[in-house]
Amino acid sequence: MITLHRLGHKLEIFRLNPDLIVTVEATPDTVITLATGAKIVVAETPERVVSEVRAYRVDILAGALRRRHELRADGSAPQGRRAEGSASHPHVRLAASGDAQA
């Protein structure tokens, strides 16, 4: 979630799921349009909203990479895909890295 302030309520913060954001516009106030169709007017500039969303996504991806590294170090995560078909789909062959695909 990202932390923002409604326009006119600088002391009251709210948190927004950035995955719901469709557009961020300056009209001249910053208006965030959500996937639900709702519009929110915030005190932050569009550049600040974009910066908050970017930081949120970087944090999520960094955490996922850390977790992946920890699982591999513990030996509890799969180390890669098998080159042959799986038991559930024996007719599917996954190309190993470096294989030419026809």
Are 90 and 96 spatial neighbours (Cβ–Cβ below 8 Å)?
no
Mean pLDDT of 33-62: 97
The Cα-based distances of 69 to 56, 65, 72, 80 in angstroms read 20, 6, 5, 13
How high is the pLDDT of residue 77?
A: 62
Residue 81 pLDDT exceeds 70? no
| pLDDT band at 75; cut points 50, 70, 90 | confident
Ramachandran area for residue 65 (φ above 0: left; ψ -120 to 50: alpha; else beta): alpha
